[in-house]
Each structure stands twice: as C-alpha cells, then as structure tokens.
Structure 1
C-alpha cells in the first residue's frame, strides 16, 4: 500500500494548515482510512507530534480554542512534550481528544471525549471495484454562486465580492474538514417580490436553479430589509444537499459577519449541527456582533470538527456527493455525535434532525445518554442510601458512606460526569452542580443573580428527590462547612470571585445581627470554595484528577481556632469592619492556610505526589 502526503492542491496559509493535519492518505481500495480530532482547551499554543504507524510524522500546532482533524491511512499516535517528559497516546479512529492542563505548571494531558460507541470499522472499508474508489486528489467541491434580481451592484463587483468570501470560507473548511470550495460559475435567479418568508424564498431558489451534477448552488438574496430581533439568515435542506441560500443583510453588517453566516451554513451542508459553545461558529444564535472584530477567528467546536472531518474524509476518498452514500460506519458515528449535541440543546431541533437522518439508514444506533454532573451526584447519593449501615460480606455489600467519605464520593461522581461533557463549559457545570447538589437550602435558587440558572438546572421535583437521598455529607466533619464551600464555589462560577467574596461577607454580617453570629470559620469555608472554583476553572485542578482523587480535607483548611457565633457588637469591638487591620489579619491567615493546602502548593512539592496520581491524570 502506497502512503504519501498530498499537498499539491493547496497554496498559501491553507496549504500549511492542512499539511500539518493530513498525516497520510492511501489510494488503494483496501485503505484503512482513519479520522481523529484534537482540540486545544488550554490558553497557549500546543504542538502535537503526530506519527502514523507507517512512519510518517508531522508536528501539528493548535491555537487555543481551536480543533484540528487528522487523516491517516494507518493508526496514529499523538505525543506531547511537557515539563515532566514526553507523553504519548494511540488515537482511536473516529474519536476526538482535547488537550487540557494536568494541574502542574507547563504540563498538559490528552483526554478522549466521549461521543458514544465506536464500532470496529470493517476491513476493507471501501467495498466495490478499485476503479470506483476516488483518490485523495479530489479535494475541491465546485460551487456556483447566484444572486437574485435585488442585487444592486454590477456583475463584476458582486462576483468579485462573493468569490473572495467563498475563498475565505474555503480556507476555514480546509482546516476543519480537509475539503475546499472552487467557484465554478455565476448566475442570477428571479425572486418573487411578494414573498417575505425566507423558507418560501428558499423553495423558489431550489425550483429556479438546477446546478450541474456534483456542484453546489449557493444563493445570496438581497430581497429583505434589515430588521431587529431574531430572523432567518440562511439555510440548507440537509447534509450534502445541492442548495444553500443566505440573506445578504443590510449595509450595517460587516463582511466578517457575512463570512461567519456563510461558514455556519456551509457547516450545516457538510453535516454540522448547532453547538452550545458560545465561541463556535455553529452556535445557534448568530448576529451577536462579536464577529465585527477582525481579531475574532471563526472556528468550529470539537464535536462539529469531528463531524466535518468524517464527512470530508468520505468526500475526498470516495467521491461522496450525497448523505445516503456515506458508509454505515460513518453514519453510526455521526448519529452518536448528533445524539450528544441534541442533548446539550434540547430546545434546538437541528441536531435532532441530523440524528434522525443518520439513524434512519438501517444502522442500529445505541442511544447516547449524557449524564449531567448534578444527576450523577444524585444517583450516587441514591445508590449509597440503599446500602446497609455496616458492611455485609456474605451478601457482598459495602457499608454506607457517611460524612466526609460521602462528600468525596459525591464530588468524584460529579467530576466524572462533567468529563463526559464535550463542551468547554464542563468545569463551570461541575461547580454549579456541587453548589446545588451538596446544599439543602435555597441559597442559589433565591439569589437574583443565580436564580434563573439554578431553577433551569434542577426542577422542584428533582430537588426533592435529591434531598430525600442526600443524607448529611460533610467536610472536616461539618455539614455547614461543606455548604459554605460548595455554594461559594458555585457563586464564583456563576458570577465572579469578587462577587462571591462580597456575598459571603454579607451573609456573615447579617448573621451577626441576630442570627447565628459572625463566623470566621464559615468565611474560611467560603474563601476555600472560591479558591477551589478558581483552580477548577483555570484547569489547575483537572476534572480527571478530581474524579479519582478528590478529598474535601485537601481543599478546606482546619477551622479550629477561628471565632464563631460573634454578635455584631463583639465582632466590631474585636475585629472592626472589613478594612480594619485586625479583620484583615484574620483573612490573611485564612488565605495562607488555603494556599498551604496540597493542591495549591508549589510545583516542587507536587512532583513527589505525581507518581501516585491515577492513570487518568497522565497521558498513557
């Protein structure tokens, strides 16, 4: 089998981008064509050395927040160089991975993202005679550009403008799907002036325009005036259909925003679905003005990059022009990914429609269930509640977890579920789950800043069910300390660290005026929770590590010696207000105690513990 890099079809920046991503392509009909995606979920550029078992190797530089596909005719290995040495992982076919911080300065790890089952790919993959298999040289897709009679500019002007936009979109598609677009012609169509509905206009476009076989018709209508509020800006009829239509908007809309809309609809054309990630070009709501900034780069989220790569690989290697021509294996993978995207946006129909299209081809698709962190925490509590108070060796039953041990198990289960979330928002969702799940009060449900999200995350019925099985989890032996810790962590994630600190102090000040009294121990738990949230959100306390190693006592300092139950008069007499040096001295002592906890110690103190870290904490 001949394996070689193919780069002749590219020029300029797009050539360099895809040359890094395309590791090898085989032209034999028995080629084992594989696809994998790596996303950079750190704040720095990451360079991955990707090596095929055939011996071909390439360095792939991935910008922060971007995802890059890898195409190969033989199994791939990805290697990262970190401060603790090289780390390598064999990539699974049809899988996606993300680079995240391992918790040590300068050290990262590669984690696979759960996108459902990955059945073994049949061998040979391509069925049929060798001459029916199209080689990898077929990488560009011809498109014909159309405008309606409302286009105000001369042919030469609009053709030049739209060609430049298509070329810019083509570069982005090459980087995510490995396919490009080639302008093959131009045309006009007559739109009905009385039609104001976008979908009806799209129907007119389809009836009026019949592109050549293998071509895609992209129409740009100028019939509509710009209007405020939600509006239909573009559309397709499904994956690999022959028509795409977009509204040109008003003169106030920038070219960058028009390019974003074009890439969004082309994403749908190649199979992409709406994403919950706000930085993805596939987010459901465009027109939010962020794309006015030229510095904002258009990018796909990791789930949709995998979809584009799978479809693009079949276009290049098999000449696929219709979704029904996709192999059963690819349809199976697409259906699993669509199911997860559909779960993240239950009110949005796009992923559900794509999932039904992929699943309606006779491929048995096992439903993919994404476990929410809060649901996982509740399920763990319910399972534990059924266990006996003491172990029963004869029946093989462990003893029921209580106190600190129960907390550790609940937090680990939430972290594990959060790891399965493909969105970059998983850390925040984990913290919100802890704030709701470990608290039986209504703090987050009553706070005006967090009420809406809290009610949307957990219904009244789900809350009652959780409280019925929660029992009394603790940290350092205290349930109230755990509540302060968890709620403050959630507040920091849902608002900000500054606001969480202010709310914590405000609560203690209120307690001092006739309640349980001002408590520096409670304030210490608040500050520990906020520090924990900062570490989780920054990736220095990775979810992978928390899922295996979380222990509450490692994140909350000892509270003995801190004054509690102080009425307002005594508190003011002994410590003054927030700006008093005596008050600040206690806060400084609390913060030093938190920073001395094991997870926050300097690197030199962490290295000794690395060898005892779980396998999931490192890249294997």
Structure 2
C-alpha cells in the first residue's frame, strides 16, 4: 500500500445503509472531519461525515460517485465496489482521495449494479460465550460486569465496520491447566473443556501466569478454523488496550489478518500505547474491514461459512484482498494459510503428506507461531554471545549453543507441531543467505519467522557458527533439517539441485556441503520418528554425532572438473557419490 497513516482519532458516527448489497470502505487519514456525498445512478445523493482517521463501510448497489470539497472546489470521482479508498492530506489540494491497489483484475460483474440487493438489516449475529478460568480471583458479579462492558465496546467496533453483531450468549468458567506454559497450551485446554457449536464463539480469559520471555503474547486463536479464543486477563494493563485486544481476536475469528496499519486493532504490536492517545478510537484498517464485510455476506448465507464454502464471486474478491494484505504484511501466518486454500499459486507450500501415518497432524498456524519463538530464541542467544567480548563462543561451540537455545524454546511448546517448528526454525535461524525464503517451495513456511528488521538484527549478531570447523557445513546441515520437514521425500532432490546451482558461486560444487545437507535431512527424518532427538541435542550437540566423515569427498569442483569426473546429475559416477554419502549416514549411530 502506498499511503502513510496519521495519528489523531475521533469517535466514528458513520452508520451503514441497511439494504444495499455491495460495499465500499472509506478511511479518513487526515486531521479533520470530511463531509462527502455518495450518489448512485438514478438515486438521490446521500450525505456522510467521516471523522479524522477513521474507517467505515458505505453500502451501495453498484458503482457510485463520491463528491467532496478540496480547497474550496468540489471534486467528483467514481467508486468501484468491493474496493477501499483513503482520504489523504495533500500539500496542494489539502485533501485527495486515493484507492488502495488490489492485485489482479476485478470481477466483470462488479462493474454493474446488483439486480437483487441483499438486505443488511438486521446484522449477522454471532453468539459469544465469555469465560474466566479457575485462576481468576474475582467474584462472579465483578468479572462478569467488567467483561460485559469490554465485550460491548469491542462488539460495537466490529459491528460499525462489518455489519456483524457479536451477541453475548452467557458467562461461564473452566478449569485451566496450572502447568500450561503458553497461551496455545491454554487454548488447547479450553477447546477440550468447552465445546462450541458451529457459528458460535467461545472467548476464554485466563489468569494463569506464563513466562513472559517464553510467550509474551496477549492471546491466541485459530482464526476462521476455530471456535475458541484464549486471551490473557490483566494484559495489557489498561482496560482500553484490553478492549483493543478483544477486537483483534474477534476480527481474526471472522477472517481478519495482519496489517501494517499502526492504528488498526489487527496490527501485530498491540499494547504499545497507541490506544491510550487522547481521542484515540479502536478501529479496523480499510482492507480488513472490506474483507469482514464479505465474510458477513457469506455468514448471512451460511452461519458456518468457511473458505471451502465460499461463493465463486466472493472467493475471487477475497483472494485479491488477502493478496493485498499479505503484500502489505509479508509472512502473516493467517493470510498465508487462507491463500493456501484460495489460491495455491500464491502460498506455494501446501502441507506435505505425512510420511508416518501415525504422526499426529500438524496445525500450520500453531507451528508458525513456534517457529517464530524459536528463531527469536536463537537471536537472543546470539546477542548475549556478541556482548561477551573476549569470552564469546565461536565455531562449533557457538553452533551447539544455538541448537541448545532453539531446542530449549521448542520443547516448551508441547504438541505435534514442536518437532516440525524446531526443524524449520533451525534452517531459518542458522542461515544468513535467506535460502528458505528465496525458494518458492519453502518460502511460505518461514515467511512469518521474522520481520526484515529482525532478520537484519539476527544476522548482525549471528557470528560464525560452524560444524566440523566449516561455516558452509553448518548452514547446509540446518537447511537440510528444514527441507527434510517441509519437502519430505523430495528433500534430497532439492539438496542436489542446490549443490549443482553452486557452480554459479566462487566455491563451486562441494560434496561435503551436499553431505551436510543430506545429514540434516536424515536428522529431520529421525526426529519425525522420535521426538527424543530434540531432547538429545538439547542436552548436547556435536558435529561428529550428526555429520558424516568427509574424507574422500571432493571440494570446490568447477563445472569443467565436475563434468570431467562425474558427467552430470544422471551419470552413474555422480549417483555413486550420492550412494556413498547415504551409506556414511546409515553407519552413524544417530541415524541407524
């Protein structure tokens, strides 16, 4: 998105028109209230006022004209339905209206008025049950009054932006696990303890103490795929920000995803003080508001609507919106997951088939959350080492420290996603080249592992971790770990392809590097079969235990020398080298 966002907010008094089918979302990111008129063909213009830095839907039957005043002159523009527009400050005209770019072509039918508009009155109703766990110290009357007030405020924000009305269905309590180590653990327990019907939502507040370093999040949900949300009570400290956290998870439950808009409740960094600014208003961003209006239409048709049940037209519209949001917030786990179903050409990595049919299924959104935590744990360990001065670890010892930190973080997250996340995170964290992110087959799994700023920070302090004294063996081993998890049976082919691509690099093709990558793949396969492998490397990690001996494997082969000695990738001489590497791995204790 090309716009900048501005700070002052005023209360939104912008009511949706009840009986129009299509929707346009308009945001005012200027410092003043803006008055404008919307006119549909053959209808009288309707007047609106939009306060500063607010976002609201306008319901129409089809393309319409908007008229507003800029520097004393009236400006008239055509609005396309199912699009978002922003009023922005302009140094020449004082204000301009700019449409947000959406990838791909719009539907042809959206250029015409709806023949049979769908009424939007009354709004779509979603029953919500509010709970606290048995660790909450308050009397029922007190916590119910506090949560009711918070819920009413959050539900009002959602309804103004989306025509979805969250309705309180009742209060309850549940027994949470005193040993839970993360919000995900608590959510798992809530889902087991409190069943929820299709089209409803359960919001559980927990007062259990969790290690802030291990899990600093305010809550967790499954997005569209879940009927439960777990939120930590008492965080953030202020009631206003707690209300914003609730809006965040209610919007996610309707299909909302991450955004870089610093004023949106769907931004990544909640609780940063934004909602406490004088005159601040909790709101959504334009693209998510547009998305949730589409989901409201789908819920009118089917209360349990999901990605697989979408109408053809809304499937196309939502694909454009999720693409735009993913471009604005690269790596957002929910946007990637939804696009993986809506458009598999965008999210390149569908979940691979399980080699071991007895292995429990891995939830990609849970796995991605753990990957991010593990990568951050490695970065934190790297910072400590960088600050150690003369006593800083180097080489293989540094690698062992990073593996220990990664394993320590991973095993705090119990469940089938732990091993998968550990393997992927190591591939991302121990590599400074971005190999996984640059490969279409693996990019989706690491897109949310870190922001560009976090990546720069990690690389700056990573140092020179090695295996068997070599940096390239370290990098390739852990890339192999990630490939073994993500590509399974195709992992070795990918490793061979990477080795052959090395002809373009100064070091040319190195069989030891290929052997290290095969070793990482073997490690992944072993860990998939036996979770104890992760606990083993948590206790101690040494190259000799997991990387085969390299004696006799040729290094730094130019293309000419490779072709002279081994022909090409299908030559028997080259295949014999691969067989030799596999044999060396099979003889190692870790992979027997």
Distance, in Å, in 1 between the alignment partners of 2:221 and 2:119 is 26
Aligned to 1:65: 53
SS at match of 1:351: helix
Is structure 2 residue 309 aligned with structure 1 residue 325? yes
Which residue, out of 143, 165, 176, partners 1:191?
Answer: 176
Aligned to 1:147: 132
* Greater relative CO, 1 or 2 (CA 8 Å, sep 6+): 1
Q: Is the counterpart of residue 115 in structure 1 residue 97 in structure 2? A: no
1:48 CA displacement = 1.9
Which runs of 5 or more residues in structure 1 are unaligned?
1-12, 27-32, 368-451, 460-620
Match of 2:24 among 18, 36, 50: 36
Write out per-residue CA displacement over residues 420-472 of structure 1, whole angstroms, 9 at most, x where no aligned residue. Answer: xxxxxxxxxxxxxxxxxxxxxxxxxxxxxxxx98x979x9xxxxxxxxxxxxx
Q: How does 1:561-600 map to 2 (within 5 A)?
A: none
Distance 1:229 1:204, change over 3 A: closer
Q: Note if 1:233 corresponds to 2:210.
A: no
Among residues 147, 161, 175, which one is paired with 1:162 in the alignment?
147
Find the counterpart in structure 2 of residue 222 from structure 1. Answer: 207
Q: Is the 8 A contact 1:36 1:306 kept in 2?
A: yes
Alpha-carbon distance between aligned partners in 2 of 1:161 and 1:120, rounded to the nearest angstrom: 48
Q: Verify the 8 A CA contact 1:52 1:75 in the aligned structure 2.
A: yes
Give the distance between the partners of 2:57 and 2:326, measured in 1 at CA.
22
Residue 19 (structure 2) aligned to one of 22, 25, 47: 25
Contact kept, 8 Å, 2:129 with 2:202, in 1: the verdict is yes
Contact 1:23–1:50 (CA<8 Å) still a contact in 2? no
Deviation at 1:271, TM superposition (A): 1.5
SS of 2:148 mapped into structure 1:
helix
Q: Which residue of 2 is the match for residue 53 of structure 1?
A: 41
Whole-Å Cα distance in 1 between the matches of residues 64 and 112 of structure 2?
18
RMSD over equivalenced CA pairs, Å: 3.7
Match of 1:257 in 2: 241
Deviation of 1:229 after TM superposition, in Å, equals 8.0
Pair 138,308 (structure 1): closer, same or farther in 2 beyond 3 Å: closer
**Which of 49, 55, 76 matches 2:64?**
76
Displacement after TM superposition at 1:291 (Å): 2.9
Shift of 1:37: 1.0
Correspondence for 2:271: 287
Partner of 1:503: none
State the Cα deviation string for residues 72-94 of structure 1 (Å, max 9, x = none): 23432211123353222221121
The question of whether the paired residues in 2 share the 8 Å contact of 1:54 and 1:74 is answered with no
Deviation at 1:200, TM superposition (A): 1.9
TM-score (norm 2): 0.52
343-352 or 116-125: bigger deviation: 116-125
Tell me if structure 2 keeps the 8 A contact 1:52–1:77.
Answer: yes
CA distance in 2, matches of 1:199, 1:102: 45
- Structural mapping, 1:307-386, within 5 Å: 307-316=291-300, 319=303, 321-359=305-343
The farther-off stretch of 329-338 and 161-170 is 329-338
Q: Distance in 2 between matches of 1:150 and 1:125?
A: 54
The alignment partner of 1:71 has SS state of: strand
DSSP 3-state at the match of 1:60: strand
CA distance in 2, matches of 1:230, 1:366: 27
2: CA distance, partners of 1:99 / 1:126 = 26
Query: Could you say what secondary structure the match of 1:184 adopts?
Result: strand
Q: 1:179-229: per-residue Cα shift (whole Å, max 9, x none)?
A: 222111111111111122211211111121123443211111111257368
1:334/1:355 contact within 8 Å kept: no
CA distance, structure 2, for counterparts of residue 123 and residue 65 of structure 1: 29
Residue 142 of structure 1: how far off its partner (Å): 1.6
1:480-533 C-alpha deviation (Å, 9 max, x unpaired): xxxxxxxxxxxxxxxxxxxxxxxxxxxxxxxxxxxxxxxxxxxxxxxxxxxxxx
| Aligned twin of 1:171 | 156
Change in CA separation of 1:51 and 1:122 when aligned onto 2, cut-off 3 Å: closer
Of stretches 266-275 and 328-337 in structure 1, the one that deviates more from structure 2 is 328-337
CA distance in 2, matches of 1:126, 1:43: 35
Kindly state the Cα deviation for residue 161 of structure 1 after the two structures are TM-superposed.
1.0
Contact preservation (8 Å) 1:165, 1:259:
yes
C-alpha spacing 1:327/1:225, structure 2 compared with 1 (3 Å) = same
Structure 1 counterpart of 2:352: none
Equivalents in 2 of 1:82, 1:125: separation in Å? 28
1:82/1:35 CA distance change after superposition, 3 Å: same
Structure 2 distance, partners of 1:340, 1:279, is: 18
Change in CA separation of 1:105 and 1:116 when aligned onto 2, cut-off 3 Å: closer
Q: Among residues 274, 279, 282, which one is paired with 2:258 in the alignment?
A: 274
Question: Is 1:180 matched up with 2:165?
Answer: yes
Q: TM-score, structure 1 length as denominator? A: 0.50
User: 1:461-540 to 2 correspondence within 5 Å?
Assistant: none
Change (3 A) 1:70 1:126: closer
Any conservation in 2 of the 1:34–1:74 contact (CA below 8 Å)?
yes
Q: Secondary structure at the match of 1:343?
A: helix
SS at match of 1:169: helix
**Kept in 2: contact 1:256–1:294 (CA 8 A):** no
Distance 2:59 2:241 in 1: 30
Q: Deviations over 1:46-86 (max 9, x none)?
A: 11212233625432222222221112234322111233532
Structure 2 segments unaligned to the other structure (5+ residues): 1-9, 349-451, 460-592
Name 1:394's counterpart in structure 2.
Answer: none
Provide the C-alpha distance between the structure 2 equivalents of 1:190 and 1:346, rounded to a whole number of angstroms. Answer: 37
CA, structure 1 residues 125+80, in 2 after alignment: closer, same or farther (shift >3 Å)? closer
2:135 & 2:44 partners in 1: Cα distance?
A: 52
